[in-house]
Amino acid sequence: MRSKPAYRHLLSLTKCIAALAAIGLFATLLNDLSITRNASARLYYLADETPECQVALVLGTSKYAEGNVNRYYRTRIEAAAELFHAGRVRAILVSGDASTKYYDETTTMQLDLIELGVPEDYILLDYAGVRTLDSVFRAKQVFGLDRVTVVSQQFHCERALYLADGVGLAATGFCAEDTPHSSSLLMRGRETLARVMAFADLNILDTQPRSMEPGERASR
């Protein structure tokens, strides 16, 4: 039979763990809400209402998912082209992962923008945008931009604007059309954790981009 002191010790430990878990959950939800509210006044959904800016920063993702064209990808590219043709931006910086010759988000985005009528000369390429943090930091520190219009889905724009604030990059967001999966519990859970990581990167870990080099086209 378990002794009373041992039982009381176990009970106290359980309460302590539960309290820490509750505090962690509260902090996580508060951080999520704070990032959303911080960006809310700087998000736009119609090209004609979006403030003019020299450069749009398009955040990369894979073109294909489960054998089909990724809707997150397609709507981001269409949104960037729409901004350009509406005269709201004069150039487009596509930033994605091009770390191997077999996977090159950046060139793929460039080619699809050209198909949508954006002249090649007006498309800048960042081959080292492996994470959102990399894309935002490199826009400021490598490409020398002071202001951008971030193009992605709303939840992603909110996090990107938070990171932009952290590096001193003035940013607004142009929200591409959402997908049916954007509001799913799984997607929301992933985004909430990504925002915890964004907070830690800026305020605890002082995370820097994986590369500060201009970047070259992935080997073919």
Average pLDDT over residues 184-203: 93
Instruction: Residue 82: give its domain's CATH number.
Output: 3.40.50.620
Beta carbons within 10 angstroms of residue 177's beta carbon? 15
Question: Which of these ranges, 8-17, 52-61, 147-156, 189-198, has the smallest mean pLDDT?
Answer: 8-17
Residue 220 has pLDDT above 60, yes or no: no
Q: How many domains, in total, are found in the chain? A: 1
Q: Is residue 30 part of a domain?
A: no
Helix (H, G, I), strand (E, B) or coil at 52: coil
Q: For residue 186, is it within any domain?
A: yes
Pair 58, 124: CB distance under 8 Å: no
Look up the domain containing 55 and give its range: 39-203
pTM over 0.85: yes
pLDDT number for residue 219: 42
